[in-house]
Structure 1
Amino acid sequence: MNQYETVFICTPVLSEPQVKETVKKFRDIITGNGGEMVHEEDWGMKKLAYPIQKKSTGFYHLFEFKVNPELVSKLEIEFRRDERVIRFMTVKLDKYAVEYSEKRRRLRKEKTEKEA
Structure 2
Amino acid sequence: MPRLYDLMLMLDPNAPEERQNEVIRNVESMIEADATLVGKHDWGVRRLAYEIDHRPDGAYHLFQFETDKNELLERLDHSLKIADGVLRFRTIRLKPGSPPPPTPRPEAPRPRERTQDARVAPRAAADSERPVEEPESKEAPAESDSAAEDVESPAHGS
Instruction: Verify same fold: TM over 0.5.
Output: yes
Q: Distance in 1 between matches of 2:30 and 2:74?
A: 12
Unpaired runs of 5+ in structure 2? 104-158
Q: Per-residue displacement from partner, 1:40-96 (whole Å, max 9, x unpaired)?
A: 000111111110011010110000001222311211111101021110011001113
Pairing 1:56-71 to 2, within 5 Å after superposition: 56-67=56-67, 68-71=69-72
TM-score of the aligned structures, taking structure 1 as reference length: 0.79
RMSD (Å) for aligned C-alpha atoms: 1.7
Which protein has the larger Cα radius of gyration, Structure 1 or Structure 2? 2
Question: Relative CO higher for 1 or 2, CA cutoff 8 Å, sep ≥ 6?
Answer: 1
Q: Count how many residue pairs are aligned between Structure 1 and Structure 2.
A: 101
Structure 1 residue ranges without an equivalent (≥5): 106-116
Partner of 2:27: 26
Structural mapping, 1:10-25, within 5 Å: 10-25=11-26
Percentage of identical aligned residues:
27
TM-score (norm 2): 0.59
Structure 1 window deviating more from structure 2 (6-15 vs 59-68): it is 6-15
Higher strand share: 1
